[in-house]
Amino acid sequence: MRVAVVGAGSWGTALAQSLSTAGSEVHLWSRDTAVAEALRTTRRHPWALDGIELHAGIRVDDELAVCLSQAEIAILAVPSHGMRVIASALAPSADALIVVSAAKGFEVETGLTMTGVLADVLGSAARIAALSGPNIALEVARGLPAATVVATPDVVVARTVRDGCNGGPLRFYSSDDVRGVEYAGALKNVVAIGAGLCDGIGAGDNGKAALITRGIAEIARLGVRAGARALTFAGLAGIGDCVLTCISPHSRNRGLGEAIGRGTPPDVAIAASHMVVEGVNATKAALLLADRYGVEMPIGREIHSILFEGKSVGSALSDLMTRGAGDELRGFEPGVES
């Protein structure tokens, strides 16, 4: 399989490494010419994936057209806020490609998922899929076992990506629930910030487990109201990715929450992060979507109030613990409002 990985950050580089190991012919594109040159000459990333030597079979390009020229699949591993620009840049090549979003986020201005952005730019006839799952980039780059899911309603596209990319330590599954996979992958970052807040204030394992579980319930309710299947949130893109992101020391979103919980002002903590923390913008998008679909998201709203409205972590926790309680599974039964 000939694969172009667009974006040479930690996740894009890790995907390129894994796919090359599995036998694919891989081109990796970086918009940063210095990063591209470092990867070509030293076979190591200058700021990510410490200790990983890039597989000899990976070709590194700094011209997007060259990277895409022979590809069958283009995997876009770019931050969510840059997806529209990248989609526009690859549009002339899109007819010949299966285009896979490996970003987990929303376009804040529109509330669109990443495949929604791709369809908006490339047209409804484009062959588009989403990739999401419990995948820490460093572990994938090291060749440790992992699993992920490619989501598309097109059975042929699903099989092409799944079967063409399998064979290495990263195992690909398929799903036709694109909305569920994308909502789960993006919204779990909000929950992970909350889990980090629990770590930062010393809320304990019980408190963190409650936050994660109720957070998954929130994002699943929103996803179901938006047209996703509830069961998707029990899969790799849902519980799998959420639990990983909430407990891993490598998680940027959890780490941001922990820093804030320990007393770092949110704006300072966000600015101090050297890589994109998708949960920050996902929190804004979550409330936009919750209002659009009429879904309660008390945890998401409290995290938003901490990040953007100056509310203290202690006050937010107190408000969550004293709000009215109801049936645990409210919002999942047919005909029952959330």
253 is in an annotated binding site: yes
238 is in an annotated binding site: no
104 is in an annotated binding site: yes
194 is in an annotated binding site: no
241 is in an annotated binding site: yes
C-alpha to C-alpha distance for 103 and 47, rounded to whole angstroms = 20
Choose the catalytic residue: 188, 208, 284, 311: 188
251 is in an annotated binding site: yes
9 is in an annotated binding site: yes
Describe the strand order of the beta sheet including 98-101 as a list of residue ranges.
59-61, 25-29, 2-6, 73-76, 98-101, 127-132, 146-151, 170-175
Amino acid letter at 313?
V
C-alpha to C-alpha distance for 37 and 44, rounded to whole angstroms = 10
* HEC assignment per residue over the chain: CEEEEECCCHHHHHHHHHHHHCCCEEEEECCCHHHHHHHHHHCCCCCCCCCCCCCCCCEEECCHHHHHCCCCEEEECCCHHHHHHHHHHHHHHHHHCEEEECCCCEECCCCEEHHHHHHHHHCCCCEEEEEECCCCHHHHHHCCCEEEEEECCCHHHHHHHHHHHCCCCEEEEEECCHHHHHHHHHHHHHHHHHHHHHHHHCCHHHHHHHHHHHHHHHHHHHHHHCCCCHHHHHCHHHHHHHHHHHHCCCCHHHHHHHHHHCCCCHHHHHHHCCCCCHHHHHHHHHHHHHHHHCCCCHHHHHHHHHHHCCCCHHHHHHHHHHCCCCCCCCCCCCCCCC
254 is in an annotated binding site: no
29 is in an annotated binding site: no
Bridge partners (DSSP) of residue 130 are 101, 151
276 is in an annotated binding site: yes
47 is in an annotated binding site: no
105 is in an annotated binding site: no
208 is in an annotated binding site: no
C-alpha to C-alpha distance for 197 and 39, rounded to whole angstroms = 36
Q: Is 188 an annotated catalytic residue? A: yes
Which amino acids are annotated as binding site for NAD(+), given as ranges?
7-12, 137, 252
Which amino acids are annotated as binding site for sn-glycerol 3-phosphate, given as ranges?
104, 133, 188, 241, 251-253
Which amino acids are annotated as binding site for substrate, given as ranges?
104, 252-253
Residues marked active site are found at 188
Which amino acids are annotated as binding site for NADPH, given as ranges?
10-11, 31, 104, 137, 252, 276, 278
Which amino acids are annotated as binding site, given as ranges?
7-12, 31, 104, 133, 137, 188, 241, 251-253, 276, 278
